[in-house]
Amino acid sequence: EPEDWITQYGRRGLNFGGTNQWVQTGLVLGAETQFTVSWWSKGGTVTGDYLFDTTNGNVGFGVRGDAFGTWDIFAYTAGGLSRVPDWGTDTRDNVWRHYCCRYDNGTIDCFENGALDSSNSDGSGAMVSSSEQVPICADYNGANHWTAAVLDAMIWNVAISNSQIQQLSDPGNVM
């Protein structure tokens, strides 16, 4: 695990039913030039329901489900919005998958089961600082709850390496 570890809620699965079920991490990300979020998930989604979100206005970052059962991640940066819509395999098939998003100076790389799925570098520089705590399975207001099973949701204040992402995606390390 990287020395710049921020927080981890995991090593036990959380099953979110979608009605007022979420976790407040207590973590506030500032004007980060790098960060990584990683999680295992299985189960369905509803468009616009959040796994992580600090976007109160045009600040912070978010990861949410979209209309296709896939993911949408976005980060507001000093150089504009960096977003990767519609990435990953349809989550509605109820199969455990590992997902990881790495932000590095405006570039977002999205991984599924250790392999790069999508990337976008529309933004640049540091993420616009948010004063919101990072929730798991809700938006910054504690609404729009993600409905799924989640395991090992993790957040780092660094862009972890591809090999570290591949290690995290090994089911033998968590299941």
pTM of the model: 0.82
Question: Residue 166: which pLDDT band, with cuts at 50, 70 and 90?
Answer: very high
CA dist list (Å): 10 to 18, 40, 61, 172: 19, 10, 21, 15
55-86 per-position pLDDT tens digit: 877 777 888 777 677 788 888 887 778 888 77
Query: For residue 17, what pLDDT is reported?
Result: 58
Contact 100, 165 (CB under 8 A): yes
% of the chain residues with pLDDT over 70: 83
Q: Is residue 111's pLDDT more than 90?
A: yes
122-162 per-position pLDDT tens digit: 877 777 888 888 877 778 887 777 777 778 888 888 899 99
Contact 83, 120 (CB under 8 A): yes
| Order of strands, sheet of 115-120, starting from the edge strand that comes earlier in the sequence | 5-16, 148-156, 34-42, 97-104, 107-112, 115-120
| DSSP 8-state symbol, 127 | B
Average pLDDT, the chain: 78
Mean pLDDT score, 13-31: 70
CB burial of residue 89 (10 Å; 0-12, 13-18, 19+): middle
